Amino acid sequence: MEAIDKIREAGLKLTPQRKAVYEAMMELRHAPIEAIISCVQSKDKEITLSTVYRILDSFYKAGLLSQVYHPQTNKCYYDITVHSHHHLFYGQQIVDYEDPELTQLIRQHLEKKNLVSADIEKIQVQITVNKSLI
């Protein structure tokens, strides 16, 4: 789906700046704020830091982006993938890891420990690997 459709579908007004930030995220997939800013500014020198911050915040609140914390750097990365998924980490690399079976196993395990399914908001496993992912 195109950036413009995603932004409109989230109920946000389409602006050239929002389109530029969403397109940067489509390209970067997972990125800390500095990387998003430099990607957006490489295409639009006029866009200010505060505008990018504001747009990322509005995208996050509208459910257009999710966030993930890198276990080694403790940095917050914005993530273009918003549905439930896991991550593989190697150095600065972050790769999505889709494994509904793993999510289900954890959910069942937690239910056995008396944590009811309705109380679980999100299950996200972070796996750090010792070889390059690319």
Residues near Zn ion (CB under 5 A) are 79, 81, 96
Q: Shortest distance, CB of residue 80 to Zn ion, whole angstroms?
A: 7
Q: Shortest distance, CB of residue 77 to Zn ion, whole angstroms?
A: 8
Q: Shortest distance, CB of residue 103 to Zn ion, whole angstroms?
A: 14
Neighbours of 13 (CB within 10 A): 8
CB nearer to Zn ion: give 18 or 70.
70
CB nearer to Zn ion: give 39 or 79.
79
Query: Which bin fits 114, alpha (ψ -120 to 50), beta or left (φ > 0)?
Result: left
- How far apart (Å, rounded) are the C-alpha atoms in residues 34 and 43? 15
Q: Which helix (H) or strand (E) covers residue 77, if one does? A: strand 76-79
Q: Tokens 């990018």 label which residue? A: 52
CB nearer to Zn ion: give 10 or 97.
97
- Say which DSSP state 5 is in: H
CB nearer to Zn ion: give 3 or 51.
3
Q: Shortest distance, CB of residue 81 to Zn ion, whole angstroms?
A: 4
